[in-house]
Each structure stands twice: as C-alpha cells, then as structure tokens.
C-alpha cells in the first residue's frame, strides 16, 4: 500500500516537472501600459528575463532528467521505494533552487521600477490574487468576458468554442459532418 501511494505521488511530481507549453513570443505591451514603463525599462527587464532563463536552464534540465528517471523507476515496478523516494527528494531540492533563483531575479526586475510603478505593480498583484474568483464569476455569467474572449456564458461559452472544457468529443469540428453532435 505504501509503495502504491508513493508511486502515485511520484507520478504527480513527474507531471509537475513538464515544461510549460510555448505560447509564442510574449509582448510586454499590456504591462508597459499598466505600469507606464519606458522603452529602456522594458529592454532592461527583457535582458534580466533572458539571464534568468539562461541561469535556470541547467536546473530545469536536471529536473527533467530526474523526472524521467522517476517515471522509469515507477513504471518498471522493480525499483525499491528508497531509490524512488531519493529521486523525489532530489527533484524537490532542484525545484527549490529554481524558486530561490526566481526570487533573486524578481528582486532585480523590481529594482528597475520607480516608486509609482512599484505601487501599480502591487495593485496588479492584488488584482491577480482575485483571478480565480473572477474566472468563476465569468463561468457562471456574473461578469462579462473581456473583448474578444468568446461569447456566451457557462462552461462552454454558449457552445461557441472550446470553453473551459476544451474542444472535446462534442466540440466544433467533431462528429458527423464536422458539426459536433448538435443538429
């Protein structure tokens, strides 16, 4: 039983080790407007971000390698719980190093801002903390969606697009004649 619980928790750690999907180039226009950043500040921040990425590359690769080892150890079934546990601990230690690096780089990024911009950033953080509630309010139709975010209310956006559930088997383009299961 203990081995099963350990194996299940290890699978969860393995999933967390996957890198985020690449969503294309990120433009800082919304941030630039919200914080009233100068072009020079944006350039400085982009350079700090590049340095952050380079500094964490080795650690991220180590996390991926440990996750692969862990996945293989769990799937083989022949590994002992001590070895699996050590892989989990190693992965956690690497993640902690990445988090500590992130804090240092965040401090460098915030040092680029002036006092007024730091205040606006604090307001932005307060708004971000409300995002789960905002998303749920939109899901129930209590709040309007931002311009261009799809139409309708509810989980599937009034059946116009993937909504919160993704395209799924009944989504647009699925089923007979590419119309889903709706008639």
Could you tell me if 90 and 154 lie in one domain? no
Domain of 141 in residue numbering reads as 130-183
Could you tell me if 41 and 109 lie in one domain? yes
Could you tell me if 10 and 72 lie in one domain? yes
> Which pLDDT tens digits describe the chain residue by residue (183 residues)?
555 455 556 555 555 555 555 554 567 899 999 999 999 999 999 999 999 999 999 999 999 999 998 888 888 877 688 888 888 999 999 999 999 999 999 999 999 999 999 999 999 999 999 999 999 999 999 998 887 666 555 555 544 445 555 555 554 544 444 444 444
> Does 182 reside within a domain?
yes
CA 164/CA 161 separation, integer angstroms: 9
Name which of 51, 153, 165 is nearest 108 in CA terms. 51
> Does 118 reside within a domain?
no
Could you tell me if 60 and 135 lie in one domain? no
Output the pLDDT for position 180: 46
Q: Are 181 and 175 in contact (CB under 8 A)?
A: yes
Q: How many domains does the chain have?
A: 2
Output the pLDDT for position 183: 40
> Does 119 reside within a domain?
no
Could you tell me if 165 and 98 lie in one domain? no
């Amino acid at each position: 039983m203990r081995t099963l619980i350990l194996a299940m928790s290890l699978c969860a750690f393995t999933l967390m080790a996957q890198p985020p999907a690449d969503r294309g180039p990120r433009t800082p226009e919304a941030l630039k407007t919200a914080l009233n950043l100068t072009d020079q500040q944006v350039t400085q921040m982009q350079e700090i971000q590049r340095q952050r990425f380079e500094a964490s590359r080795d650690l991220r690769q180590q996390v991926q390698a440990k996750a692969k080892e862990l996945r293989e150890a769990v799937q083989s079934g022949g590994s002992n719980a001590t070895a699996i546990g050590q892989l989990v601990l190693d992965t956690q230690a690497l993640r902690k190093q990445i988090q500590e690096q992130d804090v240092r780089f965040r401090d460098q990024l915030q040092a680029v801002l002036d006092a007024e911009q730091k205040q606006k950033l604090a307001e932005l953080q307060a708004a971000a903390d409300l995002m789960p509630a905002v998303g749920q309010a939109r899901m129930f139709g209590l709040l309007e969606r931002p311009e261009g975010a799809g139409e309708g209310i509810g989980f599937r956006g009034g059946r116009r697009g993937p909504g919160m559930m993704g395209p799924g088997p009944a989504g647009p383009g699925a089923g007979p004649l590419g119309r889903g299961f709706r008639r």
